[in-house]
Structure 1
Amino acid sequence: MALEDYFQPFSQRDWEREDVDGTVRMAVVGLGGFALKRALPAIAAGKYCETTTLVSGSVRKAATTAERYDVEHVVDYDEFRRGEVADAYDAVYVATPNALHGEYVRAAADQGKHVICEKPLETTAERARELVDVCADAGVTLMTAYRIQLESTARRTREIVADGYIGEVVQVYGGFSHPVLETTSPDTWRLDPDLAGGGALVDLGIYPLNTTRYLLESDPVAVNAWTCSLEPAFDEVDEHVTFTLRFPGEITASCTASFNAHASSHLRLVGTDGMISISAPFGGVVPQNVIVERGEFSVEYTGNPDDEVEEEFDYFGYCVLTGTEPGPSGRDGLEDVRVIDAAYESAETGQWSDL
């Protein structure tokens, strides 16, 4: 395939293979900033999901949000666990702090509801594996909310890599930093290790980790990591992290993440014959700026930004309606938590951790 063919049309939904009728009725569990600012608007803008139930511990917030999005049912967490309005929804979006994912995924599975759960799937590999098993036993779909996998830039890049246009991938470089205290208060759950399961690695480093696995279609065999915390606000979690992944074939990925650095994200894949660079891949609305180089030949593509959150929910709804197994499955989420556990072990021991 000629390089230009990957960009025509760039934003095609290659997963949308058939026409489907109806929508998946969603219960949104947890009304934090991301759910309010990104998830609920994305569901409303999409065509395969609709929000019919809100679950929150704040009556005022839930009532205001329900009015804004014309949502009929509002329940608190205890009422949700009891399944009091379970007939009003077909699937559940879990957007609570990380350590609380498990109880709401289990409650949804017990009700026979499909689940899309925010990343990381859980705070330890053991707990994540339990959720995968619970949903499999219940016969319900479990999707981990890796929205970048549904974004056009990542999907076209994966095709270019798989077709060998840049030869054999040798090295990957990825980074994601965000000054967390500029947008949240110091008492945010993200700085509580019991609720978050970690710091910059869990919250930001998971993006280059999962995206590299997705683009290479491979899982790492070992990880080496280093973490540090310099400011008192980050005493209990990692403020900065650097980790190296080793993949089969001696491919390496060098990744960084920071809770206290200028907002930035980047991804670059270097192959034996060429290189692909993606600007700002991890921000939520990807600008679709991709540079592909091969020898003396270089092509830069810039398209209209994708709202990958809208793509994510439409993809989830489509999978549920068609009975299709989602690409970013629960097992995908489990694998990342396994790597994160091993990375923290490496940071503590100063040695490579095998996977």
Structure 2
Amino acid sequence: MEAAFAEYLDEFTRRDWETLDPAAVTDPVRVAVVGLGWFAREWALPGIARSAYTEATVVTDVDAAAVEAVAAEREATGVTPDEFRAGAVADAYDAVYVATPNATHLEYVEAAADQGKAVLCEKPLEATPERARRLVAACHDADVPLMVGYRMQTDPAVRRLRDLIDAGVAGDVVGVHATMTQTMLGELGGDHDQWRLDPDRSGGCAVMDLGVYPINTTRFALREDPVRVSGRTRSEHAAFADVDEHATFRLEFPGGVDAQCSVSQNAQHASRLEVTGTDARLILDPAFYEREDRGFAVVRDGTRVDVEFDQVHQIEAEFAYFGHQLLAGEPFHADGEHALTDSRALAAVYESAETGEPVALGDAA
């Protein structure tokens, strides 16, 4: 079986989007980092620093102590959110990375667009589809490029998975199963006051925070968008009284292909994506978390091949792509219009969970 797909896995971690020589970059894209939560501090800022195409020059957050500490650590300029929105140090950055709670993305992206800066906004775009549309429109009207932070799309494991699907190694895709679960209150520090538990700031919890990964990664791998969504949510733990703790949902894709997905913020840690075809199964396990190595396997005719490859820093790859495309004058694949499909799908899961009926995406809010 190895010979059948080996040619598609040569140089597994190759950057098939890269046309510039990273060693020749002398003026990387200067990035202002908006939001200094644990992900920005532990993953985004190191990823920006590791990428040859980017450097962090400005940081801001509502937490003044965090701004002071990170600015000193990263040798960056620290400003208040008001100063950032006013463009006080706009000459010090070329692009803006927004990693604040979902419901605050819009205000910072609008400020960046007004300043004429390229934007990398974390997913999901916003807390509601209506606000997501306003965010995309702000960048469109200002003619500034918008990329959305789907780090899975620049992960070589996901790109090779898509290569194998495109090459027909799996045969005709029959279905997809995806799981992403964690004990959020344990793994993210046990903070019961965090913004993910506030529906006004997050837009939801399990579906918004985790469900976006199987939705978007399946769309990317299949090169298709879902046409119909059904879902169910439930909450049992007191901390999740106002948001969804667990969720299961089904995405119906053209050609009769279904993706069955389960996500939870209060279950044993798991992360898996499996594409089943008429000829083979393609498996990512672990799949979605930035803090664990990805696993890649192909199963066909009773034989399983686990592919050994050099792991990459997911966030470095994401920022390398972001900076590279800006320097090369090339568009982003995961742009705002692409992300609006996810916003509609996420809203449709919640609508279906409330009504008990499937929702056609064309009918989603």
Do the two structures share a fold, i.e. TM-score over 0.5? Answer: yes
* Residue identity opposite 1:126 in structure 2: E
Q: Distance in 1 between matches of 2:7 and 2:129?
A: 40
Q: Distance in 2 between matches of 1:80 and 1:28?
A: 10
What pairs up with 1:271-310 in 2 under 5 angstroms? 271-285=277-291, 287-310=293-316
Q: Distance in 1 between matches of 2:65 and 2:236?
A: 38
- Aligned match of 1:321 in 320, 323, 327? 327
Q: Distance in 1 between matches of 2:193 and 2:228?
A: 34
Kindly tell me: are residues 8 and 319 of structure 1, through their superposed partners in 2, closer, same or farther at Cα, counting changes over 3 Å? same
Q: Distance in 1 between matches of 2:293 and 2:157?
A: 9
Q: What's 1:60 paired with?
A: 65
The alignment partner of 2:248 has SS state of strand
Q: What's 2:238 paired with?
A: 232
Displacement of 1:286 after TM fit? 5.2
TM-score by length of 1: 0.97
Q: What's 1:186 paired with?
A: 192
* Residue identity opposite 1:51 in structure 2: A
The alignment partner of 2:268 has SS state of coil
Q: Distance in 2 between matches of 1:164 and 1:3?
A: 10
Q: What's 1:345 paired with?
A: 351
CA RMSD of aligned residues (A): 1.2
Instruction: Could you tell me which runs of 5 or more consecutive residues in structure 1 were left unpaired when the two chains were aligned.
Output: none
Q: Deviations over 1:245-279 (max 9, x none)?
A: 00000000000100101111111000111111111
Q: Distance in 2 between matches of 1:278 and 1:203?
A: 20
Q: What's 1:122 paired with?
A: 126
Q: Distance in 2 between matches of 1:320 and 1:129?
A: 23
The alignment partner of 1:261 has SS state of strand
Displacement of 1:50 after TM fit? 0.4
Contact 1:243–1:255, Cα closer than 8 Å, also in 2? yes
Q: Distance in 1 between matches of 2:292 and 2:277?
A: 23
Contact 2:280–2:299, Cα closer than 8 Å, also in 1? yes
Displacement of 1:287 after TM fit? 2.3
Does structure 1 residue 241 correspond to structure 2 residue 243? no
Q: Deviations over 1:58-82 (max 9, x none)?
A: 22221111111111x2111111111
Q: What's 1:148 paired with?
A: 152
* Residue identity opposite 1:227 in structure 2: T
Q: What's 1:269 paired with?
A: 275
- Aligned match of 1:333 in 339, 346, 356? 339
Displacement of 1:304 after TM fit? 2.3
Displacement of 1:137 after TM fit? 1.6
Does structure 1 residue 109 correspond to structure 2 residue 108? no
Displacement of 1:173 after TM fit? 0.2
Q: What's 1:16 paired with?
A: 18
The alignment partner of 1:194 has SS state of helix
Q: What's 1:164 paired with?
A: 168
The alignment partner of 2:236 has SS state of coil
Contact 1:286–1:305, Cα closer than 8 Å, also in 2? no
TM-score by length of 2: 0.95
Displacement of 1:332 after TM fit? 1.9
Q: Distance in 2 between matches of 1:99 and 1:239?
A: 19
* Residue identity opposite 1:179 in structure 2: T
Q: Distance in 1 between matches of 2:95 and 2:59?
A: 12
Contact 2:154–2:314, Cα closer than 8 Å, also in 1? yes
Contact 1:288–1:304, Cα closer than 8 Å, also in 2? no
Displacement of 1:285 after TM fit? 4.3
Does structure 1 residue 259 correspond to structure 2 residue 265? yes
Displacement of 1:18 after TM fit? 2.9
Identity, % of aligned positions: 46
The alignment partner of 2:310 has SS state of coil
Alignment length (residue pairs): 354
* Residue identity opposite 1:233 in structure 2: A
Q: Distance in 1 between matches of 2:134 and 2:38?
A: 27
Q: What's 1:311 paired with?
A: 317
Displacement of 1:217 after TM fit? 0.5
